Structure 1
Amino acid sequence: MEQEMGEKMGGEVREGDQEKWVYDSSVDYKGRVPPRASTGVWKAALFIITIEFSERLSFFGLSTNLITYLTKVIQQDLKTAAKNVNYWSGVTTMMPLIGGFIADSYTGRFSMILLSSAIYLMGLGLLIMSRFIPSLKPCDPDRCQQPSKVHELTFFLAMYFISVATGGYKPCLESFGADQFDDDHPEERKKKMSYFNWWNFALCCGLVLGVTFVVYVQDYVSWGVADLILTIAMTITIIIFYFGKPFYRYRVPRGSPITPMLQVVVAAIKKRHLPYPSSPALLYEVPKPEKSHGRLLNHTENLRFLDKAAIIEGNEHLSADKKPSPWRLTTVTRVEELKLILNMVPIWLTSLAFGTCVAQTATFFIKQSSTMNRKIGHHFEIPPATIYTLTAIGMIIAVTLYDKVLVPFLRRTTGNERGISILQRIGFGMIFSVLSMAIAALVERKRLNIAHREMIQGGKNGPVDMSVFWLAPQFMLLGVGDAFTLVGLQEYFYDQVPDSMRSLGIAFYLSVMGVGNFLSSFLITLVNHITEKASGNSWFGKDLNTSRVDNFYWLLSAINGLNICVFVLLSRRYSYKTVQRGGGGGVDGRVGDEMETMA
């Protein structure tokens, strides 16, 4: 009945029905138009945030202590271990491009999340087997010189199972949560802006528990017991997520989003010799679609060559019962969707430098903490990876202050619904990455001086006499940067992609972190080669005390400083997505403000 109501209205929804039903192309779990009162918003998003909490608990519980496991249990040297961590992190954050594409095109987000849950549990199960089955257990470093190859193979197989599962989780969980808020409803749209902040708040809570409790169990109880805890937590939250099924709003996949973009390119090339029309109103557009079939985009002046794909030739007779070939004539909305993706490329590229800074938190930052005094009082010593908590604390404080204090103030000051634009938020966070790397370089230089005095001159072994909390500023500053740049990138890539590509949009954001990890590994290799050839002493030695990681931090700080200048120039020229809020097309399918006024 509700579906028939939407069809009869032909996209024109009365105000009373707008409050009762959700006409944003989503459906409820029975495939009908969702009722606004019983579906979506926070009552649905909380189920999704719950499973994200346990996924981040598992991910950070494993990833932050990964370099410790590789160096101490599998017995890899620092350079090899750092590269393996970066490769795994890079693959893990690139896999969402595949998972997001499949979800948007074929399976839908809910089904992809369930499939990824099964794969994640398989990975955790393999980890448990590698800890407890005698033939798969790691070799004790005190008893043998060579690590167990069988254990190493099983361990990496399990970790890459988790990578594949994360490839489905990350693009779908966050975008599925954002789907629960209607962009065309003023109150829900404001809640959606807060959603990305509180999503990251929950993410940080999972992170804090992962790098404190889980890492403590790994270091002082048993790696196997920690894996059992993560598996139980994941299983419980998957069940909770499934019970939220009646409350969710679902987006129906409509095939590959890549095909319409190829059609725009082909049509534009075929009509490359045609002159531009005197007015954008003369470009082809379908009549305003029903609410269940998407939204129309306004025409923009950039990348005008693509507009030729929407030019109507004299021999193309349009009628309601005969649609033109999309490989010859496409709509303005299709053209604008391709423009959105192309406009994102420079923003994506200038975000990569920030990703290389974030990559240091799971490698060199953690390794720094392992060489320092981690005692609290006389008897308690925190695990090296637990210091990562400070990043989450910095992010939690910054997100809370931003959402509850800064945004209301900035809304009143600027008149912008968001407070500041998305790109301004991203750029502001990038400043903190420069400061974090500069402070990290200064702290590492001080640590090296102490290590040289105590170990080389004094013959001392073990951690240097320097508190691990000297690392607090670099961790917390990067956490504050995350609250602005990473949350801003999430919102940017979800909001500015075409509506049919929102899982892929989150995947684009995650690929910033993935490519950032690969770039970090590439920089390590490049710098290692150059410094070793130039002076005979590489910046990356066998351990941290024979390395010059402080110089590497200065290099990252300089790269990010230059990158901010480029980002600011691009941001000032950027055009945001604009959606048509009213009006429809004429009989011949052409739309525009001018024709709308004449009608």
Structure 2
Amino acid sequence: MAPEPDQTSSDPLLLPHRETPTGGWKSALFIIWVEVAERFAYYGISSNLINYLTGPLGHTTASAAAAVNAWSGAASMLPLLGAAVADSWLGRYRTIVASSLLYITGLGMLTLSSMIPSSESQQCSISANGQRVCPPSSLQTAFFYVSLYLVAIAQSGHKPCVQAFGADQFDVTDPKESASRGSFFNWWYFGLCASGTVTIALMSYVQDNVGWGLGFGVPSMVMLLALVIFLLGTRTYRFYDSDHGGAFSSVGKAIGAWRKRSQEAALQELEHGGESSEDSMVAEEVKGLARLFPIWAACLLYGVVFAQPPTLFTKQAATLDRRIGPSFQVPPAALQCFLGVSIISCIVLYDRVLVPVARGVSGVASGITMLQRIGTGIALSLVTLLVAALVEMRRLRAARDAGVVGVPGAVPVPMSLWWIVPQYVLLGAADVFAMVGMQEFFYDQVPGALKSLGLALYLSVLGVGSFISSFLISVIDRVTRRNGGTSWFADDLNRGHLDYFYLLLAALTALELIAFAYFSTTYVYRRKA
């Protein structure tokens, strides 16, 4: 058994849980504000990234959407590696600090990349949306992508550890704190969405109307502020012994023990009285991780749906009449604010209205189970896709009737931006059920020492979903352009067929919902120690 940390040490990283009269909502709110700042930085880059790629970098709509999805996928998958580093070596606190420093570096480089001038020898042109586009130099493109993926690497340690560290501030063995932890996941997502909503409204306007240098520079400064806030709160945090790592080595020991026992004769196992209690415990941890895989796999198509607002929804919105008043025009990416407003409203209704009512009916403390919550979110995402397909059909019909199909320049379709708002609102409601449900489920159901890995599993759903979306867009674009055909994702969306793509995703989501219902009805929740 490893020796206990020195109980007289003043280093908060070495204090065992029982010696730290800290934690609770005071510490959790401190960490929530850090994540709010980090989300401001992240959405300040990601929400309008497709317009940067199709504008200053000169990508086609299909290649830009695929590139954004691939980057989002990497940013969501790499937390599996970050969780492994945190849980087996650095601990969550140190991983957060190291990742934040790398984050600031990546954002600073991204700001510099947007300021590298294009080659004057290259000929500029007018894009389909009326913007003057000068092809970037190869140096600018390479530096941009290096910077962008440095941000993704930084996310790998930040995302799984900050939320797990925040949830660690509540003691699951204390009934009052255990109940508070359920609300923590709701209000955590509330803070993230409030930050994202403000960010998208502010930064999309700055990037479209002021400049990309300032549009990328502000998020880098906000991320620096986030690190300062996190460090200032160090003395208020509750640290667990498990935060020093060792979880993955325990799983490794379990796998090794299984391998050794498989090579022993049954008689020898009986003679020695079977497996040790320690081997039995770590073996159960491995089994517990394996039990989560069917649920994880059945959520992947939700990750595909989640990838659409910052890419195809945004390009779709760019074709509409976005005027409000005589002169103000809403930036296309700013319509993602309706997603955030919907989430914020639905979280309040869920936590304060639905849960108390459902609790009285079901007798379950959380109102509905975590898997029921996720399933409801998947069903709502199916409705979202059907509505998006119907809206796109009407938009294409309006474009044909107005004669703007194939017309060069930024000629809007005579159709108000309010037509596209319902799909954002519905997806926001779906997020409150599916996204928050996945966060709590994977955090709650992994073995005790692997909480960072649990949240990384939830993020990997979004990562794999983004990769699937990138793959589908690339393949469909290639197939539909074959033999002189028109791509579903044509640069002139009035000639494309996003409605077909949304209907395809809806069919796949319906199959996913059936699979999820099957696996969730056979799943047995892990009992708390």
Query: Do these two structures clear the TM 0.5 threshold for a shared fold by scoring above it?
Result: yes
- Report the alpha carbon displacement of residue 43 of structure 1 after superposing the two structures with TM: 0.6
Identity level (%):
39
Q: Which residue of 1 aligns with 2:324?
A: 376
Given the superposition, is the C-alpha separation of residues 376 and 256 from structure 1 closer, same or farther in structure 2, using an over 3 Å criterion?
Answer: same
Deviates more, 1:532-541 or 1:468-477: 532-541
Matches of 1:453 and 1:350, distance apart in 2: 41
Q: Which residue of 2 aligns with 1:483?
A: 432
Q: Which residue of 2 aligns with 1:55?
A: 38
Map 1:186-197 → 2, pairs under 5 A: 186-197=175-186
Deviates more, 1:331-340 or 1:352-361: 331-340
- Report the alpha carbon displacement of residue 129 of structure 1 after superposing the two structures with TM: 1.7
- Report the alpha carbon displacement of residue 131 of structure 1 after superposing the two structures with TM: 3.2
Identify the match of residue 472 of structure 1 among 411, 421, 429: 421
Q: Which residue of 2 aligns with 1:540?
A: 489
Kindly provide the CA deviation profile for residues 450-478 of structure 1, in whole angstroms up to 9, marking residues without a partner as x.
Answer: 11222357968511111112111111111
1:561 alignment partner AA: A
Q: Which residue of 1 aligns with 2:293?
A: 345
1:31 alignment partner AA: L
Matches of 2:121 and 2:305, distance apart in 1: 32
1:466 alignment partner AA: M
Given the superposition, is the C-alpha separation of residues 248 and 136 from structure 1 closer, same or farther in structure 2, using an over 3 Å criterion?
Answer: farther
The question of whether the paired residues in 1 share the 8 Å contact of 2:405 and 2:495 is answered with no
SS of the aligned residue for 2:248 comes to coil
Is 1:440 the counterpart of 2:388? The answer is: yes
Matches of 2:459 and 2:121, distance apart in 1: 32
- Report the alpha carbon displacement of residue 46 of structure 1 after superposing the two structures with TM: 1.3
Given the superposition, is the C-alpha separation of residues 467 and 35 from structure 1 closer, same or farther in structure 2, using an over 3 Å criterion?
Answer: farther
2:15 alignment partner AA: G
Q: Which residue of 1 aligns with 2:129?
A: none
Matches of 1:139 and 1:239, distance apart in 2: 43
SS of the aligned residue for 2:414 comes to strand
1:104 alignment partner AA: D
Q: Which residue of 1 aligns with 2:229?
A: 240
Q: Which residue of 2 aligns with 1:77?
A: 60
SS of the aligned residue for 2:523 comes to coil
Given the superposition, is the C-alpha separation of residues 58 and 432 from structure 1 closer, same or farther in structure 2, using an over 3 Å criterion?
Answer: same
Is 1:492 the counterpart of 2:435? The answer is: no
Map 1:564-575 → 2, pairs under 5 A: 564-575=513-524
Q: Which residue of 1 aligns with 2:217?
A: 228
Q: Which residue of 2 aligns with 1:171?
A: 160
Given the superposition, is the C-alpha separation of residues 183 and 144 from structure 1 closer, same or farther in structure 2, using an over 3 Å criterion?
Answer: closer
Q: Which residue of 2 aligns with 1:156?
A: 145
Kindly provide the CA deviation profile for residues 177-226 of structure 1, in whole angstroms up to 9, marking residues without a partner as x.
Answer: 00100010000000000000000000001111111011111111121122
Identify the match of residue 208 of structure 1 among 192, 197, 203: 197
Q: Which runs of 4+ in 1 moved over 6 A?
A: 3-7, 135-140
2:280 alignment partner AA: V
Is 1:561 the counterpart of 2:510? The answer is: yes
Q: Which residue of 2 aligns with 1:31?
A: 15
Matches of 2:48 and 2:105, distance apart in 1: 20
Matches of 2:120 and 2:191, distance apart in 1: 34
Given the superposition, is the C-alpha separation of residues 133 and 84 from structure 1 closer, same or farther in structure 2, using an over 3 Å criterion?
Answer: closer
Matches of 2:102 and 2:437, distance apart in 1: 29
Matches of 1:538 and 1:457, distance apart in 2: 14
- Report the alpha carbon displacement of residue 84 of structure 1 after superposing the two structures with TM: 0.6
Compute the RMSD of aligned alpha carbons: 2.7
The question of whether the paired residues in 2 share the 8 Å contact of 1:116 and 1:169 is answered with yes
Kindly provide the CA deviation profile for residues 513-564 of structure 1, in whole angstroms up to 9, marking residues without a partner as x.
Answer: 0000111122223333444559944423233122111011011111111211
Given the superposition, is the C-alpha separation of residues 29 and 469 from structure 1 closer, same or farther in structure 2, using an over 3 Å criterion?
Answer: same
The question of whether the paired residues in 2 share the 8 Å contact of 1:93 and 1:167 is answered with yes
Give 1 or 2 for the bigger CA radius of gyration: 1
Q: Which residue of 1 aligns with 2:245?
A: 253
- Report the alpha carbon displacement of residue 269 of structure 1 after superposing the two structures with TM: 2.5
Query: Size of the alignment, in residue pairs?
Result: 513
2:270 alignment partner AA: E
Give the number of the structure whose residues are more often helix, by fraction.
Answer: 2
Deviates more, 1:53-62 or 1:97-106: 53-62
2:508 alignment partner AA: I
Matches of 1:5 and 1:104, distance apart in 2: 17
2:379 alignment partner AA: I
Matches of 2:120 and 2:27, distance apart in 1: 42
The question of whether the paired residues in 2 share the 8 Å contact of 1:130 and 1:154 is answered with yes
Map 1:5-404 → 2, pairs under 5 A: 28-35=12-19, 38-132=21-115, 141=124, 146-250=135-239, 251-254=243-246, 256-257=248-249, 258-267=251-260, 269-270=262-263, 273=266, 313-315=270-272, 331-404=279-352
Kindly provide the CA deviation profile for residues 63-118 of structure 1, in whole angstroms up to 9, marking residues without a partner as x.
Answer: 11000000011111111111111111111111101101100000000000000111
- Report the alpha carbon displacement of residue 412 of structure 1 after superposing the two structures with TM: 2.3
1:572 alignment partner AA: T
Given the superposition, is the C-alpha separation of residues 418 and 261 from structure 1 closer, same or farther in structure 2, using an over 3 Å criterion?
Answer: farther
Structure 2: tracts of 5 or more residues without a match? 126-131
2:309 alignment partner AA: T
The question of whether the paired residues in 1 share the 8 Å contact of 2:95 and 2:161 is answered with yes
Matches of 2:382 and 2:103, distance apart in 1: 35
SS of the aligned residue for 2:509 comes to helix
The question of whether the paired residues in 2 share the 8 Å contact of 1:29 and 1:246 is answered with no
Matches of 1:74 and 1:487, distance apart in 2: 35
Per the normalisation by structure 1, the TM-score is 0.81
Identify the match of residue 355 of structure 2 among 407, 416, 426: 407
Matches of 1:473 and 1:163, distance apart in 2: 31
Matches of 2:354 and 2:265, distance apart in 1: 48
1:238 alignment partner AA: L
